[in-house]
Amino acid sequence: MSLLKPFSRLPGLNSANILLVEREEQFQQSLADVLVEETTFTVNVRLAKSLPLPMENEESRPRIDLVVFIINLTSELSLQSAEASLKSLDPGYFLGKVCFMVTNARSAAAPIERLDVARKLAASLYCPLLFAEDQTPDGVTNATERLLTILKVAAGLVPMATSLYLSNLTRSTVPPDIEQPSFN
Amino acid sequence: MADSTKRCLQRIMRLIPSYMLRTTLEKWGRFTVEQQKSIDFTRSKWALTEALLSICEENKFAMKHLTGLEMIYIMDNPNQGMWYVLQLLDPEDDAHSVELMQFKEQFKSHLKELVRHVSIKIKKHTDQAVWIRIAWGDAFSPPNHLKPTYVVHYLQTPSVFVTNLTSKQKPLLSQAMLLSTRHQAIKDANLSGRNLTAIRDLLMRKYQQVFPTKYPSPLAENNQTISNPLIEKEQAEPAANRLHMACKAFGGGALPQLQSAVYKLETKFRDHSNKTMTEREEPFRCVVKFASTNLLESLRHCASSGIASTPVTPLLSCIPLKGRNYFVITDNGPGPSSQTHQPQN
């Protein structure tokens, strides 16, 4: 099975590559449009619906610095697709090069159990869990800024900081009372 | 003016929205220029109705003039109410040479033979459609102009579109249509919708068709400048394949607006985890209905985004292919030829 490996290629000069994985293929497009507007360094965005990635792009694909899984909490299939895609990722990515981004957390159509499952997933993999709002341009801009912060470190563009170091600060934790029913 | 004529005018005023009133009256053309100018279209509907009533009384209009007004409005705004499609079968030898005057005379005379009191108005629309307005009465009562049936037929095609037809009136209309169009049988085409233009476009394939091709995008180089070169899609080829297959099944571009598709299942229950239900001999009857503001658009999006598997299952792709949106599905071989379809699994 072809795993996506983090260090199989040489890095590019003053550039970073980010892979956005989303089953619905909607939020990733708006994020991509804002991400490429970054001026201090070149951001290459690659969009995918799920992993594993097709073999045909193997040679032309650059080194992926950050893999972001976008999960829509209103859809169970979205979460399942993200979990299934995790298996095609080399374990080396889980040292700070993977991030989970969750949308529609406040929506009434999203059951609370699903958010707990996403939280536990991110915590067990020591990855950050970001909440994003995808309907307004402001929400997209905010999400992009947070992704860029993590991306800069993951691509090695921030001196004295590595992604493993950053992941100690950003990784998601599960509150000890997650099994208790919460008040709404 | 007679009471029934007044009620007819009131009904017409209820049908026509205020903003369409001026243009419809101008098209009708039966008011003189001064009369048209004297109407203040910013008043309330009730006040407008009174004004029109007085002008109609002044001109001594009868029922037939008012029905003309109603027909003009409906012909320009046909996308209301529920339209059903009937299909003419077994044409006789001279069915292909039926022309308008002959059809009009034959239809009127045959229908008048069948129903003593009936009021028929036939008009030809700009796109060659023949519009028929029928107000039904019976042996003892005059025609009821408050519940007219509208029939649209394109000469020398097998489809007939009807709205507002009761089951008692259907055999009478069918008989008159058969005799005047020189066919031998008429049946239900299992297609219905709110939008007349949509079901007509669906049947006559007046939307963009996508044909199967070995090389779906011959000019790939031309599209490069549109999207940002920094953004790259990993799974572009499977996505393009899915889109092509979805468009092949449903069509490209804007699709006719169907509101629903109904599948009546008379198949046996199949679920290995539930023994009691699977052991039953009788079929498990259920009805599956898909509803949307634009059903074909939704189905095409399901196929192109991967929610529905591609190639598109024949159960869905036969909606545009056969031009139907009511299906009866049974397990065994084809039953009555007009109605059944083999399930895929």
Contact assessment for residue A143 and residue A112, using Cβ atoms and an 8 Å cutoff: no
Does the pLDDT value for residue B68 go beyond 80?
Answer: yes
Cα separation, B99 vs B128, whole angstroms:
11
Question: Which region among A27-36, A97-106, A173-182, B111-120 has the lowest average model confidence (pLDDT)?
Answer: A173-182
Distances from the Cα of B261 to the Cαs of A114, A120, A139, in angstroms?
33, 42, 38
Rg of chain B, C-alpha, whole Å: 25
What pLDDT shows up at residue A42?
Answer: 92
Q: Quick one: pLDDT at residue B337?
A: 29
Look at B231 and A25 and tell me if their CB atoms are within 8 Å.
no
Residue B41 predicted with pLDDT over 90: no
Residue A47: its pLDDT value, please?
93
Q: Which residues contact B271 (CB under 8 A, 6 or more apart)?
A: B277, B278
Q: Which pLDDT value is given to residue B151?
A: 95
In angstroms, the CA B263 to CA B343 distance is 11
Percent of chain A with pLDDT over 90: 58
- Contacts A53 to B, Cβ<8 Å: 234-235
- Higher per-residue confidence, B218 vs A137: A137
Contact B331, B267 (CB under 8 A): yes
- Is some CB atom of chain B closer than 8 A to the CB atom of A89? no
pLDDT of residue A1: 53
Query: Using 50, 70 and 90 to split pLDDT, how confident is the model at A43?
Result: very high
In terms of CA atoms, which chain A residue is nearest residue B231? Answer: A45
pLDDT in tens, B176-195: 999 999 999 999 999 999 99
**Is the pLDDT reported for residue A181 higher than 90?**
no
Any CB–CB contact under 8 A between A95 and chain B?
no
Q: Which of B179-193, B234-248, B267-281, B295-309 has the lowest mean pLDDT?
A: B267-281
Q: Which of A55, A51, A117 is nearest to A85 (CA)?
A: A51
Which tens digits make up the pLDDT trace of A23-39? 988 899 999 999 999 98
Is B339 a residue whose pLDDT tops 70?
no
E strands along chain B, which residues? 83-91, 118-124, 129-136, 149-154, 159-163, 183-193, 231-233, 260-267, 284-291, 326-330, 340-341
Provide the pLDDT for residue B222. 52
**Residues whose CB falls within 8 Å of the CB of residue A68, separated by 6 or more in sequence, listed in order:** A18, A19, A20, A21, A98, A99, A100, A101, A147
Read off the pLDDT of residues B116-145 as tens digits, 9 standing for 90 and up.
Answer: 899 999 999 998 899 999 999 988 888 999
Position B232 confidence tier, pLDDT thresholds 50, 70, 90: confident
Smallest Cβ–Cβ distance between A25 and the set B230, B231, B305 belongs to B305
Q: Is A32 on the interface with B (CB under 8 A)?
A: yes
> Which pLDDT score, from 0 to 100, does residue B208 have?
87
In the prediction, which pLDDT does B64 show?
87
Q: In chain A, pLDDT over 70 holds for what percent of residues? A: 97
pLDDT at B345 over 50: no
pLDDT of B225 reads: 53
Crossing angle of helices B63-76 and B18-28, in 10° steps, is: 120
Q: What is the mean pLDDT of residues B229-247?
A: 87
CB A71 within 8 A of CB A115: no
For residue range A112-159, what is the model confidence (pLDDT) as tens digits? 899 999 999 999 998 999 999 999 999 999 999 999 999 999 998 999
* CB < 8 Å & 24+ apart, contacts of B16-21: B16/B73, B18/B45, B18/B48, B20/B73, B20/B77, B21/B48
Tell me the CA distances in angstroms from A107 to A29, A81, A85, A102, one per residue in order: 21, 20, 25, 12
- Is A108's pLDDT higher than 60? yes
Contact flag A49-B237 (C-beta cutoff 8 Å): no
| CA quadruple B236, B241, B244, B245: dihedral sign | negative
Q: In this predicted structure, what is the pLDDT of residue B191?
A: 93
Q: What are the CB-based long-range contacts (under 8 Å, 24+) for B138-143?
A: B141/B117, B142/B4, B142/B117, B143/B117, B143/B118, B143/B119
How many residues are there in chain B? 345
Residue B226 C-alpha from the chain's centroid: 39
pLDDT at B289 over 90: yes
Within 8 A of A36 by CB-CB distance, chain B residues are 228, 230-231
Which of A19, A42, A53 comes nearest B230 by C-beta? A42
ipTM of the complex: 0.79
The partner residue sitting opposite B232, judged by closest CB among A42, A46, A54, is A46
- Say if CB B231 and CB A36 are below 8 A apart: yes
Q: Looking at residues B25-45, what average pLDDT do you find?
A: 87
Instruction: Report pLDDT digits (tens) over A83-101.
Output: 999 988 999 899 889 999 9
Residue B224 has pLDDT above 70, yes or no: no
pLDDT at res. B217: 62
